[in-house]
Amino acid sequence: MSSHPPRPFVLLNVAVTADGKIASEDHDVTTFGSPSDSHHLYELRATADAILCGARTLEATRATLGNGAEAFRRRRLRKGLREHPLRLVVSGSGSISSSAAIWSQRFSPILVLTTERSRSQWKRLRGLADDIWCLGRSTIDFRKALERLHRKHGVRRLLCEGGGELNEALIREGLVDELHITFCPFLLGGRRAPTLADGPGIPVLADAARFRLRSRRRVGPELFTVYTVVRPGR
Ligand X SMILES: NC(=O)c1ccc[n+]([C@@H]2O[C@H](COP(=O)([O-])OP(=O)(O)OC[C@H]3O[C@@H](n4cnc5c(N)ncnc54)[C@H](OP(=O)(O)O)[C@@H]3O)[C@@H](O)[C@H]2O)c1
- Under the criterion CB under 6 A, does residue 98 sit at the interface with ligand X? no
| Residue 14 touches ligand X, criterion: CB under 6 A | yes
Considering only CA atoms, which of 181, 175, 159 is closest in space to residue 48? 159
- Is 176 among the residues that bind ligand X (CB under 6 A)? no
Q: Does position 93 bind ligand X by CB under 6 A?
A: yes
Residue 22 in contact with ligand X, rule: CB under 6 A: yes
Q: Which of 40, 46, 52, 57 binds ligand X (CB under 6 A)?
A: 57
C-beta of residue 50 within 8 angstroms of C-beta of residue 8 = yes
What distance in Å separates the CA atoms of residue 145 and residue 167, rounded to the nearest whole number? 15
CA dist 14 and 20 (Å) reads 10
Establish if 193 lies at the interface with ligand X (CB under 6 A): no
Residue from 44, 49, 52, 61 touching ligand X (CB under 6 A): that is 61
CB distance 164 to 196 below 8 Å: yes
Residue 99: how many CB atoms within 10 A of its CB? 9
In whole angstroms, the minimum distance from the beta carbon of 170 to ligand X comes to 8
Phi and psi for 110 in degrees, rounded to 5? Answer: -115, 125
Q: Does 215 bind ligand X (CB under 6 A)?
A: no
Query: Cβ-closest residue to ligand X?
Result: 163
From the list 49, 52, 54, 112, which residue makes contact with ligand X (rule: CB under 6 A)? 54
